[in-house]
Amino acid sequence: MSPIIHNIQKNNVMKKTILTIMCTAILATAMASENPFFQPFATPHGTPPFDKIKTEHYLPAFERGIEEHQAEINQIVANPQPPTFQNTIEAMEYAGEMLNRVSSVFFNLLGAESNDEMMQISQQISPKLSAHSNNINLNEQLFQRVKAVHDARFASGLNPEQIRLIERYFRGFENSGATLSTEDKEIYRRLSMELSQSSLTFGQNSLRATNAFEMLLTDEADVAGLPQSALDAAIAAARVKGKEGWLFDLSAPSFGAFMRHSTRRDLREKFFLASNTRGINGDEFDNQENVKNIVNLRLQIANLLGYSNFAEQVLKNRMAQDQETVFNFLNDLTVAFEGMARQEVETLQQFASNMEGEPIDLMPWDWSFYAEKLRDELFDMNDEMTRPYFELGRVKEGVFGLATKLWGLTFVENPNISVYHPDVTAFDVFDEDGRFLAVLYTDFHPRAGKRSGAWMTSFKSQFERDGVDSRPHISIVMNFTPPTETRPSLLTFNEVDVFLHEMGHAFHGMLSQVTYQSLAGTSVYRDFVELPSHIMENWLREKDYLNTFAFHYETGEPMPTELVQRIIDAANFNVGYSCLRQLSFGYLDMAWHTLTEPFSGDVRQFEQEAMNRVQLLPVIPQTAMSTQFGHIFNGGYAAGYYSYKWSEVLEADAFSLFKQNGIFDRATARSFRDNILSRGNTEDPMQLFINFRGQEPSINALLRRSGAK
C-alpha cells in the first residue's frame, strides 16, 4: 500500500473517530439538558416538573447522583484540616443534593403512581443505593472524622440543634456498621443489601396482589344491602374496565363498603379471605419467604452490631428505649381495655343472633356488618346518614379551615405547579402574616398504580442555609371514595378522620422551623411522630368544629344538631375492640423483632401465637396479617408499631389542654406549634412534650376519654 493511500485512510478513520466523539458528546449534552434531575428544578418554589419527568430519566439521574454524592464525600474525607462541625457534619448534611432530588420523586411515585417499569427500575437501583449507602457508612476515615466531632461536641461552642445533628449522624454510623471489623463490615454490607432487596420485593408483591383481585357481580341479589353510593362506585369501576355489573376490589372504599353493608354473608366471607390471604397463597405474589428473610436478616445485622435482637437495636433510639417498656405498655393497655372489648364482642354476638332469629357464631367477616347495624340501632347513625354531609370539597374546606382557626394558615390552589396525576392538586400554603410556608399536594382517590392505605410524605423537607429558609413540599395520599357520574366524592366518617390524621403529619412537615433538613418535620422518633396526626382527629368529635363544614352536598343545610350529637355519643362505640385490634398488631410486630434465633417455622402459626392474647374473634387458619403488613416489612415501623397507641396516650393528654382552654384557643395552638410542630427532632421528644403540656404524659387521659376509667 502506498504511503499516500495509507495516510488518506488513516485521516478518514481519524475523521470518523472525531465525528463519533463529537456526536456522542452532543447527544450526551442533549440528554443532560433534557433530564430535569440534572439541575435544580426551575419551577414554582423548585417543585418537581412532573410534566417533564419521563421514566427513562430516573436511572441516569440515580447514577449521576450517586457519583456526585460520592465525590462530595471523598472531598470531606480528603480534607487536610482537622474535623469540625462545619467541614464534616454540615458538609455531609449538604451533600447529595441531586441524589435527594431524584430519590424523593421516584420513591414517592413508586407508592402513589407506580407501574411495572417503575418497579423494574426499583429492582435495578435498590442494590446500587444500598451499596452507595454502605460505601459511606462503612468508610473508616469518614467515621473517624465524625467521631472526633462527636467526642468534642460539648466543648466546641455549638448550639443544641447542632449537637443534636452530630449525635444523629454518629448513631447512624454506629447502627450502620461503622465500628465493625473489616471482615464484619463486608458481612454487614452483604446483609444490608439482601435486606433492602427483600423489603422492596415484599412491597411490590403486596401491591400486585391487591391489584390482582376483583369481584364482578351481575345479579342484583348479590349486591343486596349495599347503599347507592357503593353501587354507583362499583358500576363506575366496572365501566372503567369495559365491564357491566358491579365491580369490587380491595381498595379501602370498595372493600370497606361491601363488608359493612352486604347482606350476603357468603360473599363477605369470600371478600374477607381475598383480602386476608394476600401474600400467603403460594402464588407469584407470595411473601412468606420475604417475611422470613427480612426478620432473619434484621436479626443477623442486630447480632453483628452487638444486640440480642432487632428490637433492642431499634428501641435504643425511641422514647420507649427498651422492649420491656414496650411490652409493659402493651400489657397495661390490654388489661385496661380487655374487659370492655370482650363485652363488646358478646353484645354484638347477641345482637347478630337476635337480628337473624337464630344463634350466630360471629366471624371476622361479620364484624363490620353487624357493628354498623348495632351502631345504627344504638345511636340512630350510620355512614350513609353522615356521608351526604361529608362532601370532599366541603371537608377539604373544613380541614384547611381548622388550620386557619388554629394558626391563621391559608391554602391557595396553584395551577402553575405541575402534578403527577390529574387527581392531584397543588396548593400554596401561607402563614397568617402572608409569608409562604409550603407546597401541599393532595391525592385523594384509589387507582391501580397506588398502594393501599393513607400516608403523608415530602418531596422536600424544610431547612435553612445561608440565611435562606427553604420551605417544604408536602404530600398527603389517600384512597377515599371516588366521585361517580351522579354524585361527588362523599366520604365516610372514618375517611374524614383519616384526612385529619394525615393533615396532622402534614402540619408537622409544613410548620417546621429548623436549620437542618435531617431534623425537620416528621424526622422524629417513631413513637413520637404520630402525636401531631392523632391529635387532629379529636376535633371531629366536637360540635363547634363539625358545624363549620358539615353541610349537605345538595341542600347546603348544616348537619342537624341531633346528628352531630349522635356522632359525639358514638365516639367510643367499640373502642375496646379497636384498641385490642391495634394491640394485636403491636404484639405481632414485637414478636417478630424480639426473635433471638433465626426463624424457619410456619408464618401463620407464629402469627397466631403472637396475637393470641388479644384475639377476640375466631382465627381463620388460612389467613395471615404478616405477609401484607407493609408497615413493618417495607415501611418504617419495624419494632415500632406500638407507637400508634403510644402516641394516642400522648395526644389524649395533649388534647385535654385544648379542652381545658378551648378547642380553637390560639394561645394553646401557638404553644403546640412552637413546642411540637415546628421543632422537629431538635430536642428530646419527652422534653418537647413537657414544654407544651407542662408535665409528662399520663395514660389516664386516654382511659377517661375512652370510658375505660
**Which member of 502, 537, 607, 648 is catalytic?**
502
Active site residue 502: yes
Q: How far apart are CA 178 and CA 139, in angstroms?
A: 7
pLDDT at 485: 87
Phi/psi at 215 (nearest 5 deg)? -125, 110
Q: Is 458 exposed, middle or buried (0-12, 13-18, 19+ CB in 10 A)?
A: buried
The answer to whether the CB of 349 falls within 8 A of the CB of 371 is no
Residues 588, 592: Cα–Cα separation, whole Å: 6
130 within 8 A of 198, measured Cβ to Cβ: no
Residue type, 293: N
Query: What's the distance, CA 666 to chain centroid?
Result: 29
pLDDT tier for residue 679 given thresholds of 50, 70 and 90: very high
Beta bridge partners of 558: 551
Coil, strand, or helix at residue 437? Answer: strand
Arithmetic mean of pLDDT, 629-636: 93
pLDDT at res. 11: 52
46-137+139-175: in CATH 1.20.1050.40: yes
Average pLDDT score over residue span 45-60:
98
Between CA 575 and CA 583, with CA 579 as vertex, the angle to 5 degrees is 170
* Chain position carrying cell 401541599: 440
Going by pLDDT thresholds of 50, 70 and 90, the confidence category of residue 33 is: low
Q: What is the mean pLDDT of the chain?
A: 94
pLDDT digits (tens, 9 = 90+) for 470-520: 999 999 999 999 998 889 999 999 999 999 999 999 999 999 999 999 999
Fold held by 387-575+643-706: Neurolysin; domain 3 (1.10.1370)
Block residue for cell numbers 450526551: 28
Say if residues 225 and 263 touch (Cβ distance below 8 Å). Answer: yes
Q: pTM of this prediction?
A: 0.90
- Provide the residue count of the chain: 709
Average pLDDT over residues 439-462: 95
Partners of 80 in beta bridges: none
Angle between helix axes 643-661 and 575-593 (nearest 10 degrees) is: 140
Helix or strand run (H / E) with residue 299: helix 288-304
| Confidence check: pLDDT of 195 > 70 | yes
